[in-house]
Amino acid sequence: MMKTLFKFILITLVFSLVIAEDLKFQSARFSCSFNCPKNKKLVAKQNYQSSPNGCGSYGITFDFGLLNAREFNTCCNNHDLCYANCATTKRTCDSNFNSCLTNTCSDLIRKNRWNFVIRTACSVVVKGMTETVEKIGCPAFINSKNKACQCQ
């Protein structure tokens, strides 16, 4: 039980450090979008196959199966797929990601009957992951759109 707690806390610290470092370079009001020129529409590239990478980006990945919370990986994969969907905005994908993580955390708490400390750690990890994609996810969002979509 304590190993799980320490792993959750470690993940939270890493996410927090990434967010803090990024805030030096990026305004909190920065809006991330992928737009086509006038008279062009964003459409899916023919034969493109999205390949979600689990929880991570920028060369950093984490398998939540190591914390007996493998269900978080599904939220991350769905988030990757959302970024590659030509019809979705970053805000929508990040909001759906937060909902998935929050619901997953609630389900894990019920299923595993976690104590207060582990429940709190899970909630902190959800907050850290959500803030991370909101604050530094723009390059990943734009990269996914560039790979999956084109303006026609």
Confirm whether pTM is higher than 0.75: yes
Residue 77 belongs to some domain of the structure? yes
Whether residue 35 lies inside any domain: the answer is no
Domain count, the chain: 1
Report DSSP letters for 40-109, one per residue: --EEEPTT------SEEETTEEE-GGGGT-THHHHHHHHHHHHHT-TT--HHHHHHHHHHHHHHHHHHHH
**AA letter at 46:** Q
Using DSSP's 3-state secondary structure scheme, residue 147 falls into helix
Q: Residue 78 above 50 pLDDT?
A: yes
The whole domain housing 126 covers 63-152
Higher local confidence (pLDDT), 3 or 139: 139
| pLDDT attached to residue 30 | 58
Share of the chain above pLDDT 70, in %: 80
Return d(Cα 125, Cα 119) in angstroms, integer: 10
Q: Judge whether 26 lies within some domain.
A: no
